[in-house]
Structure 1
Amino acid sequence: MEKIEARSLVDAATERLEAAIIGGDLAPGERLREQVLAAEFGISRGPLREAIRRLEGRRLLERRANIGVSVVELSPRRLEELLRVREALEGMACRLAAERISPDELAQLAALLDDHAEHREVISGQGYYQQGGDFDFHFRIARASGNEYLISMISGDLYDLLRLYRYKSSTMSGRAAQALEEHREILAALVARDPDRAEEVMRIHIGNARRHARLATGGAED
């Protein structure tokens, strides 16, 4: 890993550590070794520890007595339950977004997908990594729904955890390109202002992610 340049060391360490977790450099269940990470990042252990505390608050890391801090890990059953709920919530959000999304938001979504298509990992098929917040296709659609309850549920405590498993599923052969194409189908339904189709394709997309996540975590296919 490259050393972190001088800026807000805590912010930079948080971003680097988050990317390592989401991208799989730190695997689910893996214990963090502060001394090793601090050396890799080129920082002292103080900023690293604050970054760790931040990611504990976002549920990407967990601290256990007599063990220390490790990357969070969901059982296959809990992941399945979580993604089924997510399918319903994001389907509803996409339906509402088809009715409420602005032309400017549609243009931004299109530009975002064009940017994603240029990512080296997507082109090579290695995976489909999305940064959080405004760089995340799903986050933007949730926000475009205009429903504060839905936005809170989709973008709340479990948002980063779901990003972790979405990325993990995207690393399976052919999934990155397929996921990008499914995003384009969702965008087309939003552009067409077709709520039924928008909900349908979003549910199909998350259902596919759920099946790939199950396989990526060692579960059986439907």
Structure 2
Amino acid sequence: MQRSMQQSTQQLADDSARTLADRVFARLQDDIVRGVIAPGSKVSETDLAGRYGVSRGPLREAIRRLESRKLVEREVHVGTRVASLSFTDLIEIYYVREALEGQAARLAAERMGDQEVAGLYQLLAQHEQQQDLREDTAYFQREFDLDFHYRIIQGSHNQTLIRMLIGELYHLVRMYRYQFSTTANRPQKALHEHRRIVEAIESRDAEMAELLMRRHIGRARENIEQQAQQRNPQ
């Protein structure tokens, strides 16, 4: 009996610690994705423990989870840093996204069920309610089923495409997608482009769905190139 009570108490303690680590993980991931903690910056456990008001145990668990998502990385003799991509790597990834997500949109137009398509419209309706999007200052999409691009990729029902596009770089690319979406007037345009893609999918116009997705990602890439040029003029 006593042993059972001790086990129950330990389980409650473990659940509490896990819940706290979950909360810290969610906050830390959001801060990284939103650029509050910049790419390439050093991760200080002491600073973060003070910022989030937690002990190092839950914080370390959160950092380990972020490391598995490729959002932080450990370097010998350097420590832990927020992951970053070079400009060249990022642009190359966007060219690949343009081709592969265009194909995903084409397949989604052919294969998504009516309920899945209705879910895309519902998702965009949720996005429209975001204050930063309504103010046209940023377009923040949470991960997985709350992410428009994730839904389209899943809607392709092609497991190879899904593995390639929702693999180890998914979270890192999502971070750059958000941070470069804060360009003036870009968020509302991106939402409009999303809506047109869904309309093409609903119409079962596979060719148009692919074209619109490729244009959408191509414009996002051009936006990144323009911002990079403005930040580092020759």
Normalised to the residue count of structure 2, the TM-score between the two structures is 0.88
Opposite residue 136 of structure 1, the aligned amino acid is D
**Which residue pairs with 2:223 in the alignment?**
212
Opposite residue 137 of structure 1, the aligned amino acid is F
SS in 2 for 1:69: strand
Contact 2:18/2:58 (<8 A) preserved: no
The 5-angstrom pairing of residues 61-140 of structure 1 reads 61-140=72-151
The 5-angstrom pairing of residues 157-172 of structure 1 reads 157-172=168-183
CA RMSD of aligned residues (A): 1.8
The answer to whether 1:40 aligns with 2:68 is no
> How many Å separate the matches in 2 of 1:168 and 1:39?
25
SS in 2 for 1:63: strand
Contact 1:169/1:212 (<8 A) preserved: yes
2:30 to 15, 19, 26: 19
Contact 1:100/1:145 (<8 A) preserved: yes
Structure in which a larger fraction of residues adopt helix:
2
Q: Which has the greater radius of gyration?
A: 2
Please identify, of 67-76 and 143-152, the stretch whose mean Cα deviation from structure 2 is larger: 67-76
Percent sequence identity over aligned pairs: 46
Normalised to the residue count of structure 1, the TM-score between the two structures is 0.93
Taking structure 1 as reference, are residues 33 and 52 closer, same or farther at Cα in structure 2, changes over 3 Å only? Answer: same
**Which residue pairs with 2:214 in the alignment?**
203
Structure 2, unaligned runs of 5 or more: 1-15
Aligned length: 217
Taking structure 1 as reference, are residues 70 and 182 closer, same or farther at Cα in structure 2, changes over 3 Å only? Answer: same
> How many Å separate the matches in 2 of 1:127 and 1:133?
19
1:194 CA displacement: 0.3
Taking structure 1 as reference, are residues 217 and 69 closer, same or farther at Cα in structure 2, changes over 3 Å only? Answer: farther
Taking structure 1 as reference, are residues 6 and 180 closer, same or farther at Cα in structure 2, changes over 3 Å only? Answer: farther
> How many Å separate the matches in 2 of 1:144 and 1:108?
11
> How many Å separate the matches in 2 of 1:120 and 1:216?
23
The 5-angstrom pairing of residues 50-61 of structure 1 reads 50-61=61-72
User: Where has structure 1 moved over 4 Å in runs of 4 or more?
Assistant: 218-221
Structure 1, unaligned runs of 5 or more: none
SS in 2 for 1:114: helix
1:218 CA displacement: 4.3
Deviations 1:1-20 (A, max 9, x none): xxxx9871122111111100
